[in-house]
Amino acid sequence: MGRSETKGSITMEQMKCYFCGGEVVECRITHFRQTPNAMAEFRGVPCEVCLVCGEKYFSAETIRRLEQLVAMPAREYVQLPVYDYA
């Protein structure tokens, strides 16, 4: 497994990516998600990201918070240009 790390009095194994085995680190990202009405941008979302393949891992608490935010009015709206590739 990965290297052990101590946080307070709890020892935790460093998480490895499920897909490639790369190192996974905690960070905050901008996350885009399709909602029932439009594409939404969520800024400052806590997650863990694989440094090798970029896979993102969200905690259950973060997913619940994103679901709560989708049900609320957005703080800001922007217009995006849309293009058809074909």
How confident is the model over 18-75, as pLDDT tens digits?
999 999 999 999 999 998 888 899 999 999 999 999 999 999 999 999 999 999 999 9
pTM for the model stands at 0.75
Q: How far apart are CA 84 and CA 74, in angstroms?
A: 27
Q: How far apart are CA 54 and CA 19, in angstroms?
A: 10
Instruction: Please report the pLDDT score of residue 36 as a whole number.
Output: 82
User: What's the length of the chain?
Assistant: 86
Q: Is 17 left (phi over 0), alpha (psi -120 to 50) or beta?
A: beta
Instruction: Please report the pLDDT score of residue 6 as a whole number.
Output: 47
The domain limits of the chain are 29-72
